[in-house]
Structure 1
Amino acid sequence: MTETAGATPASMKAVVMHAPEDYRLEDKAVPSPAADELLIKVQAVGVCASDLKAYAGAAKFWGDENRERWVEPGITPGHEITGEVVSGSAEALALHGVELGDRIVLEQIVPCEECMYCKRGWYWMCGPHDMFGFKHYDGGMAEYMIVPPLARAHKISSEIPPHHAAFAEPLSCSLHAVERAQLTFDDVVVIAGAGPIGLGAIIGAAHKNPKMVIALDFDEHKLELAKKCGADLTLNPSKVDVYEEIRALTGGYGADVYIECTGHPSAVSQGLNLLRKLGRYVEYSVFKENVSVDWSIISDDKELDVLGAHLGPHCWPAAIKIIESGVLPLDEICTHQFGLDEVQKALDTVADSAGASIKVSLLPGA
């Protein structure tokens, strides 16, 4: 028997992807949850660079003319999701450990639990890789959405603004990048970029208490935010020679760790050059184009550890705890909120690299 928290309308507004650069706001029936599913009323959904890349028609792999698109036609986008549980059977509620009226955030991926990666515990690298808002499962750019049984849901306080709660997704991603870096107390850590992912990496790195956290960005306002998030030092590459500054701080050796969060190709070679020998490079970005570097720096020159990071596995409880603690300047990080009917404006705001936005969100109920 399905339990509901009050009356649910028959229809709703939802953004639907039809083709690259063709997202439409449509009237759809509110979905009915199956016996093992939940229905949530979406309260906020973040918009990020991967949404923008998918909107432009990007594919999974560069250089493949028959490549699979990131987003299936007919899918509702949106993967940085928070919402209120409004309907679900006792079975489904128990499965996710929630009750009607709880606010939850959802991990981006819905793992299959059948592939080699899932069976080995690497669920975030699931082979089919079905993700909310990209493939198979409708995302959060709608007034209501289904939470399937294999989804990973986490409770989060209803006392905080919904767009702050939705920041749990990018923050968990950032924390995973920090975990990949394996920071120690002696490390000098450089984080390139003070956007949503970079600020989250600064937050995570500062919580690890290394010797120094250095933030790089061309925007002075973002650098001020980086300080509020825990950066010990901020540097603007347009104003100082960051290579010379960091060499001077490290006895001429270079940084121990570099975490790349800009998505700009120039930041990759910058990081390789800023690192000391045997340093650690972590990549967490969405690039618009291919990146070329001198691989001899990685091998013959420095013997670097180069690490990728994907999604936010096992970092959601920490991200939620940090957000709920109130220590972050989330009013300054979560800069722009729009209604569903302004989805194009939200995408354009994210695309405007010269603009003042940091974290852009849609509020379906607004």
Structure 2
Amino acid sequence: MVDDTSAASASPRSTEQVPATMQAVVCHGPEDYRLEEVPVPTRGAGQVLLAVEAVGICASDLKCYHGAAKFWGDENRPAWAETEVIPGHEFVGRVVELDDEAAAHWGIAVGDRVVAEQIVPDWTCRYCLLGAYHMCARHDMYGFKRATPGAMASYMVLTTDSLVHKVDADLPPAHAAFAEPLSCALHGVERAELTFDDVVVVAGCGPIGLGMIAGSRAKNPRLVVALDMDDAKLDIARRTGADVTINIAREDAVARVKELTDGWGADVYIESAGHPSAVGQGLNLLRKLGRYVEYSVFGSDVTVDWSIISDDKELDVRGAHLGPHCWPAAIRMIESGALPMDDICTHQLPLADFQKGLDLVASGKESIKVSLIP
């Protein structure tokens, strides 16, 4: 009897000779990432081999680099990423090899440019069965687990449970890779359940915050307000859809928002700055019965007066994680040219300069979105 799966894997669709080895960034522990020559990964049945074109560096990559213990305050906990893993989860690549099973599963072919969601669900747990695959209890994650090496490399493999989306081949690679953070931003906006009469405040004008501003504007609320301490980022925020910008280094954001709303406060506050002070700021500038959405990756614990949430204002506080069901919308938004992508994607570096890229993200003063180009 013929094993059709094995036959498909043994006779892949491919148009180029794939080398035996490649350059990749490899995690050996906290603050110990190394550029190494490693074997090109082998594609299994139903899987896809990608030639990576770009991979973004985000705050979670930086947290992973420093090691979770530094942030969680528990030296007995392991680093957030497993050692010997290749990091990188914001990526775009070109399909160089796949079999009939993979082609039929995703509707893709050799030569197509694709992106994939960072989470690889098991599709069988309680959350997956409810449609909340982004909360899968037994998931893998590109760039964090050995089972799913990431994209800081010349090649990577997409496993059979991945969520894969085609993207325009004419987009600059760094722009196409921005689909991951933009989908996360749009999910945060969806969690806010905006209405036409809402005054929405977005804290932080980094990659996620700018995406949230664009997503909020697309929902057409009454007013979109952007907060940051950097005038250059606030300028981009205006071109991304903000009606009002507030430099919190010079102005009292709470007082200004109260002024804009006849003293009531904002209807919605979406936090993407990642600084503890932004949490209290949001609680104070919201009106009673307002909605608070938290998306940030924090580097330390945050303490607030919870009585504001309950006794004072009865706020609706919501978390947001990843970008479930938002990838098609994010890709359409990038492809439409609606966003000032050249201003958002500020730095594209060769893979060998990964340390410079991490340092740029850590600084936050010279860059918005930093990408590596293998």
User: Matched residues in 2 for 1:14 and 1:120: separation?
Assistant: 37
**How big is each residue's C-alpha offset from its partner over 1:231-288, in whole Å with a ceiling of 9 and x where there is no partner?**
0000111112221111111111100000000000000000000000000000010100
1:138 equivalent among 146, 149, 161: 149
1:281 has 2:292 as partner: yes
Q: Which residue of 1 aligns with 2:127?
A: 117
C-alpha distance in structure 1 between counterparts of 2:349 and 2:333, whole Å: 25
| Matched position secondary structure for 1:25 | strand
For residues 64 and 120 of structure 1, what CA distance do their matches in structure 2 show?
Answer: 33
Matched, 1:209 2:220: yes
* 2:84 corresponds to: 74
Unaligned runs of 5+ in 2: 1-10
Q: Matched residue of 1:215: which SS? A: strand
Aligned length: 363
Whether 1:41 aligns to 2:32 is no
Deviations 1:26-85 (A, max 9, x none): 111112211111000000000011100000011598354543432001100000010000
Q: Secondary structure at the match of 2:52?
A: strand
8 Å CA contact retained: 2:29, 2:79: no
Q: Aligned residue for 1:362? A: 372
Contact 1:217 1:237 in 2 (8 A): yes
Q: Which residue in the other structure is 2:316 paired with?
A: 305
One of 304, 319, 331 as aligned partner of 1:320: 331
Q: Which runs of 5+ in 1 are unaligned?
A: none
1:103 aligns with 2:113: yes
**Aligned twin of 1:24:** 34
**Moved beyond 6 Å, runs of 4+:** none
SS in 2 for 1:19: coil
Worse overlay, 67-76 or 333-342:
67-76
Task: Note if contact 1:60-1:70 (Cα within 8 Å) is conserved in structure 2.
Answer: no
String of CA shifts for 1:123-150, please: whole Å, max 9, x gaps. 0001123110012310000000000000
User: Which of the residues 8, 31, 38 maps onto 2:18?
Assistant: 8
Match of 1:262 in 2: 273
Report the CA distance shift for 1:171/1:59 in structure 2 as closer, same or farther (over 3 A).
Answer: farther
Q: Percent identity?
A: 61
**TM-score, length basis structure 1:** 0.97
CA distance in 2, matches of 1:330, 1:114: 37
Per the TM alignment, residue 197 of structure 1 is displaced from its structure 2 partner at its CA by 0.5
Once residues 122 and 139 of structure 2 are traced to their aligned partners in structure 1, the CA distance between those partners, rounded to angstroms, is 8
**Counterpart code for 1:159:** D
Deviations 1:285-339 (A, max 9, x none): 0100000000000000000000000000000000000000011110010001111
Shift of 1:172: 0.2
Find the aligned partners of 1:337 and 1:124 in 2 and give their Cα distance: 29
Deviations 1:195-239 (A, max 9, x none): 000000000000000000000000000000000000000011111
2:7 match = none
**Alignment correspondent of 2:191:** 180
Q: What does residue range 50-65 of structure 1 map to in structure 2 within 5 Å?
A: 50-58=60-68, 62-65=72-75
Contact conserved, 1:60 with 1:68, CA < 8 A, in 2? no
Secondary structure of 2:72's partner? Answer: coil
* Equivalent of residue 173 in structure 2, options 141, 157, 162: 162
DSSP 3-state at the match of 1:248 = helix
Q: What's the TM-score, normalizing by structure 2?
A: 0.95
SS in structure 2 at match of 1:163: helix
| Alignment partner of 1:148 is 2:191 | no
Secondary structure in 1 aligned to 2:79? coil
Contact 2:179 2:330 (8 Å CA) reproduced: yes
Aligned mates of 1:313, 1:56 — CA distance in 2: 27
CA contact (8 A) 1:2 1:35 kept: no
Q: Which residue of 2 aligns with 1:350?
A: 361
Q: Does 1:231 find its partner at 2:272? A: no
